[in-house]
Amino acid sequence: MGEVSTTGRPIVIAVDGGGSKTDAVALELDGTVAATARAATSSPHLIGMNASARLVDELIERLLEQTGPRPIANAGIYLSGLDLPAEVEAFRAGIAGYAWADAVVDNDLFALLRAGTSEPDAVAVVCGTGINCVGVRGDGEVVRYPSLGMTSGDWGGGWHLGEQALWHAARAVDGRGPATSLAAAVPAVFGLPDVQAVIEAVHFGRVPNADLARIAPSVFSCARDGDAVAIGLVDRQAEEIVAFAATTLRRLGLLDRSVPVVLGGGIIGSRDALLLGGVQRRLAERAPLARIELVTAAPILGAALLALEGAGAGVDALGTARDGLAGRPAAVVH
């Protein structure tokens, strides 16, 4: 990786990696943004532990090329796919030879949480390529989930929405299920003539399975146009988001308090009115004191604030970093 100096003004480095992109930033200790870099996903679930470590190292090298050799006062690496303690330890083992190996390493949900609130009692739900949740309490108690998809009881995010849209479209065209405008919308996403062509393209690998997430915007579009099947999928997504949030609040004993529920990720970022309305209505029923906080900035903001706090930065430095990074957009489903 790029040279790390032992002299000169120290910098702080923060990395946030989601299911579709990875952001990195170097900051002065006063919170000023010194360098930024972006790459594709760094999720170990998608590219493997070793490739994830190499990608993060390459991003940090790009930062140091911009700043010149500088001491690293603190570094925080927050990645999607580091859901289990064993995965965090495996990633740590994989970075042992890197100059930034003493960085704080954890799941990217903690970056999203910090981007949305600084309150000691809080819950964050990310709904992007996939879905996950974390909750914290001021006494140090943490609730988190394996986030391994259907294996661990999870449903939601762009990939699951796309998978279910294709499932319903297939059943609509062969008569096993109700008619739905998804039967036309799904092939259009891939520029294919019909649902059968999509099925064959996925089966033979011409359309990567991960690309099913590209269907998600069409689900929202069809729902807005009144399609009953698409509306059902959006409603299901809203229910899954609230199930995570309300269950986490209950497990933390926070249902009777006014607690922020931070929502972020590309599906949330689409600001679909039906989805957000469903979330608000269901959360009000199950956790009436909870307050929704929608994160519009990229979670790298939260990673940066955590890294600065770890380096002992004060309130003014945190405010400077927030001003400098708040305009960096989060990934959004269009």
Q: Cβ-count burial of 15 within 10 angstroms (0-12 exposed, 13-18 middle, 19+ buried)?
A: buried
CATH code 3.20.20.70 for 117-296: no
Predicted local distance difference test score (pLDDT) of residue 97: 87
* pLDDT block averages, 10 residues each, the chain of length 334: 68 92 96 96 91 95 95 96 92 91 95 96 95 97 93 96 98 98 98 98 96 97 98 98 98 97 94 97 98 92 97 96 83 54
Distance in angstroms (rounded) separating the CA atoms of residues 14 and 308: 9
215 within 8 A of 186, measured Cβ to Cβ:
yes
Q: Helix count (H) and strand count (E) of the chain?
A: 13, 10
Domain spans, the chain: 11-108+299-325, 117-296
Predicted local distance difference test score (pLDDT) of residue 323: 94
In DSSP terms, 76 is beta-bridged to 14, 104
Distance in angstroms (rounded) separating the CA atoms of residues 241 and 252: 17
Distance in angstroms (rounded) separating the CA atoms of residues 291 and 307: 26
C-alpha distances out from residue 36 to 16, 41, 72, 240, 332, Å: 12, 16, 15, 34, 19
Q: Do the first three CATH levels of 11-108+299-325 and 117-296 match, i.e. the same topology?
A: yes
Tokens standing for 116?
């949305």
Predicted local distance difference test score (pLDDT) of residue 172: 98
Which phi and psi angles does 78 have, rounded to 5°?
Answer: -125, 110
> What CATH number does the domain located at 11-108+299-325 have?
3.30.420.40
Predicted local distance difference test score (pLDDT) of residue 209: 94
Q: Model pTM?
A: 0.90
Predicted local distance difference test score (pLDDT) of residue 229: 98
Predicted local distance difference test score (pLDDT) of residue 334: 45
